[in-house]
Chain A
Amino acid sequence: MRRLTLLLGLALVAVLALLSLFIGAIPLDPRTLFSDPEAARLILISRLPRTLAAILSGGALAVTGQVMQILARNRFIEPVTAGAGQSAALGILLVTLFLPGAPIWAKMAIASLTTLVGSIGLLALIRPLPPTQPLLVPLVALVYGGIIGAVVTFVAYQGDMTQFIGTWLSGELSGVLRGRYEMLWIAGLAAAATWIIADRITLLGLGASTARSLGVNVARITALGVAAISVVTAMTVVTVGAIPFIGLVIPNLTARLLGDNLRRTLPVSALFGAALVLAADILGRVIRMPFEVPVSATVGVVGAALFLYLLYREPRHAA
């Protein structure tokens, strides 16, 4: 089953990546790729970065969504809409306002830091909620994310920067060019690093005491998990904008298919996440050609449909 889903994911990503290279407002013919220098240029400067951006952000968001769901012990939560995404936007907004001359790495570091604070705030907020009421967690997260989002809008309004916040709060891949997406590799690396602690995160899912009685350093693993979540969220929000639903739907899908043993499921989640963003981006390009629908919108529609399907299909377990 796992090998099958892994192969399916790989095949999906490969096919969609190829499509993503050749579909767009400017038509490309794979046969002229090597004879036509313009075509090669277009691929290298725009289409390839865009495809890579979709794969990296989709994969990383799915992985950290899964980690978040284990840390929060709740399946209805994802970092991007639960305050982490808004905190990243707040961070980059504040840097742009007050330290406009800061080097790009400093801006990214500050955005990651505000995201970290936002994520820790969320986890602290939902900790006392009763596990018997699983829907309280996403509700609180929604309100929390909404409040930070409102602060972002307010600050942007005051600073006369409202035209920017759209690019952070709603994800779009059409602006991705070579030289403008490379930060996403950091997101990819951070997500890949969670693979190293996948076993220990899985054990955290069995409860802090079980993890501890098996010798897991609960505080350290939680901190590493939150750090990975924050880096991924910050990098994606700042480079391509918030892409919702990936971190929610994909982990639920893989958990349903393969369970919660992250050592096995994280790679599958990464592939499915990449495939979903690729598919949504391609869809956004073809729906109203030559115009584009932002990927956050298409992902929202496809993801919501997928999630509803999963919800209604899933037998309701006591906990």
Chain B
Amino acid sequence: MISIRNVSHSIDHHPILHDVSLDIPRGGITALIGPNGAGKSTLLSLVARLAALTTGEISVDTLQIGKCKDRDLAKVLAIMPQSTQVSSRLTIRDLVGFGRYPWHQGHPGPEDREKVEETLTRFGLEPLAHRFLDEVSGGQKQRAFAAMAYAQSTPYLLLDEPLNNLDIAASRSLMRLLRDMAEEDGKTILIVLHDINYAAAFADRLVVMKEGRIAADGKPEKVVSAKLLYDVFGTDAPVCMMDERPVVLV
């Protein structure tokens, strides 16, 4: 379980998060939605110890963020950050292979190689495996980084807007892949999404953030409504139900 307790965070004395508490039990997909600047990425980077936690407590299973070793957390939690601007010329296979680093510490064994090949297949990256990162499209690169996080084989997976740059087919197949991981492998996935329809269709739970606070939390069909869109995003898009699932008409 990821347990976030009374976390507040400021950057340069600007308060970004206000007393956020959230529990994410094992298993399932939790989607984090909210307007730009709501603090979603900040919350994710705090959980992944990429920003220093100053107020409040976060733990992942038995590991206490801020106290546990980076190496130990790297075997439990993987994160794919929002922007993956990278100038390194690595092949996609090498990049995915580096996702195994916490396990092999630089000496990949047969099981690491197997995992890399399985990941490449699962993410449809095999035909691109030998290509350098600066020789593939933005969406393909995005998929490669998602694959790298997956190859890390952690029970917890944090993804910050992984559908950026992805076309509809790639978006749906990535979300379906995540569902498989949640259902078959029992992974716990926390994902930031902007497209509420994707969130409602694939997530078990929606957490809505606004101005550094949690504005709503619950099953998609309970949370998504025209009123929420108006209150949180300030836009009046109609919401209708299809197959017992809320759909935002844009």
Residues of A within 8 A of B (CB): 70, 73, 75, 131, 198-200, 202-203, 205-207, 209-210, 212-217, 255, 259-261, 263, 317, 319
A313 to B86, CA, bound (A): 21
Is B28's CB within 8 Å of the partner chain A? no
A206 to B134, CA, bound (A): 13
B residues near A214, Cβ cutoff 8 Å: 74, 98-99, 101-102, 152
Known interface pairs A213-B48, A214-B152, A216-B101. Does A260 touch B90 (Cβ–Cβ under 8 Å)? yes
Q: 26 A-B residue contacts at CB 8 Å?
A: A70-B88, A75-B87, A198-B106, A199-B98, A199-B101, A200-B106, A202-B98, A203-B98, A203-B101, A205-B87, A206-B86, A209-B50, A210-B81, A212-B49, A212-B50, A213-B49, A213-B70, A214-B99, A214-B101, A215-B69, A215-B70, A215-B75, A259-B88, A260-B89, A263-B106, A319-B87
B85 touches A131 (CB 8 A): yes
Is B209's CB within 8 Å of the partner chain A? no
A121 to B86, CA, bound (A): 24
B132 touches A259 (CB 8 A): yes
A residues near B134, Cβ cutoff 8 Å: 317
The 5 nearest A-B residue pairs measured at CB: A215-B74, A215-B71, A259-B89, A199-B106, A205-B88
Minimal Cβ-Cβ distance residue in B for A255: B89
Minimal Cβ-Cβ distance residue in A for B91: A259
B residues near A217, Cβ cutoff 8 Å: 70
Query: How near does chain A come to B150, taking the closest CB pair, in angstroms?
Result: 13
A93 to B134, CA, bound (A): 44
Q: Of A200, A212, A215, A319, which is in contact with the most chain B CB atoms at under 10 Å from its CB?
A: A215
Tally of contacts, chain A with chain B, CB under 8 A: 77
Known interface pairs A209-B45, A215-B102. Does A202 touch B88 (Cβ–Cβ under 8 Å)? yes
A residues near B50, Cβ cutoff 8 Å: 209, 212-213
Query: How near does chain B come to A130, taking the closest CB pair, in angstroms?
Result: 12
Is B229's CB within 8 Å of the partner chain A? no
Is B223's CB within 8 Å of the partner chain A? no
B88 touches A206 (CB 8 A): yes
A75 to B69, CA, bound (A): 32
Question: A215 is contacted by which of B73, B81, B90 (Cβ under 8 Å)?
Answer: B73
A residues near B89, Cβ cutoff 8 Å: 255, 259-260
Q: Given A212-B49, A259-B94, A263-B106, output 14 extra A-B contacts at Cβ < 8 Å.
A: A73-B87, A202-B88, A206-B86, A207-B86, A213-B48, A213-B79, A215-B70, A215-B72, A259-B88, A260-B88, A261-B90, A317-B87, A319-B85, A319-B86
Query: How near does chain A come to B152, taking the closest CB pair, in angstroms?
Result: 7
Is B182's CB within 8 Å of the partner chain A? no
A residues near B85, Cβ cutoff 8 Å: 131, 207, 319
